[in-house]
Structure 1
């Protein structure tokens, strides 16, 4: 794809490297539990509405005995945003040209006691340049210790990069964003969410360093939480609660999630965009 500058290439390389390490960590958990499940990778290409190549990405997907379904996607796209949608994107109201690169992960677990999770970080360039993303824990059957440890890891990442990393603000932002308004309930146990973190000029390196810290924090804490819960016995009622919770999760991602909308509006790969949907769910 033409027009990818040095900073976008640096962000893309980091996201791809993080993807590789996360996938290796998840595959290791599967092997520890007697499964030979591995990620399958499917590349995809995008055509910009102008008719020229508009980048693409790689969809990674694994279905195992611990991770019932986990997707880890990396994409780098660019071109021209269309019509009214361009005016909804930071810095694209007057000039609709853009580039975007990012990693997106969603894991749905086989054991209801092991929490599902979402993590996404991204770098976008319009007439403005910024990072965004975050991570949130989504347990069907919450454990206070898991929630506390997950938040503590993200707090440490924020505090190490203050004032760019602002845990109180980003944690509150996650509570507001990861909320299902038509149900009046939170999507999960929270985490952090941030967007439009300035990355123009000298602001790039501090914002990029913080975004890397978020990825490292996720990689350090989430496999630990999975290992502590994956062998917990569960009942049919526990599984029913998990499947009903997944229905709520799907509602949020289809109705309210900005990343889903951005992918659909910019001609992304449908399977990659909708990899966040659970493999099984019920509505009650």
Structure 2
């Protein structure tokens, strides 16, 4: 009899475990990819999509970035209809673009525009990694360049959140030319006394790191962001040496003088506000 009871109990227990699994609607809980903690999606939202156990910063959309950073999500978008064509007639490139447009609701991998932080106006750009891994094609370079030119005309600071897999191979030399174009525009912003704050998020790599992302008056990054030019494996094979575990992380770059600050997402808005205020008080433009 005891044996029967035990078997019944065991059976009941396994049913409830399965039942619970079934009863939890999708999207209620999220597993942290870094520490495997189980997090409630609502709590994660409240915590700016960062893990409250290990501080892991989840990837976020351009829309979320706007809501975390700007006053009342107040954002006037620039050049929202600019779209890539296929200059090299690269096979299947148009299909991939069309699929990303449908999936993300964006026309390209960068969103640019203007808004305010604590009432102070700025030109704002966000690269969105859901679109072709935020690779830099000719439209990404063009939109960023136009945003910089707007910042010069309006005497506004320029803040850009980068996240990118690098130059977009389907556009070949057209993509690589954007490195020079964006850098030349930033040189002009600098000549006019403008402020450029570059914020690198996970990951910022390749031609983006090698051009505009590293040219800020202030280069900052989110914790744990992967930032680099060539990939780890390529470097290790080239120099025939093992690289440190934390190589190419934001913290490693900060330690070696390539970043000015690592700023947690929840502190980003107040940090940017402070810098923009200091720039204004120092007689920088705006």
Normalization by structure 2: what TM-score?
0.32
Q: Which has the higher contact order (CA 8 A, sep 6+)?
A: 1
Looking at secondary structure, tell me which structure has more strand per residue.
1
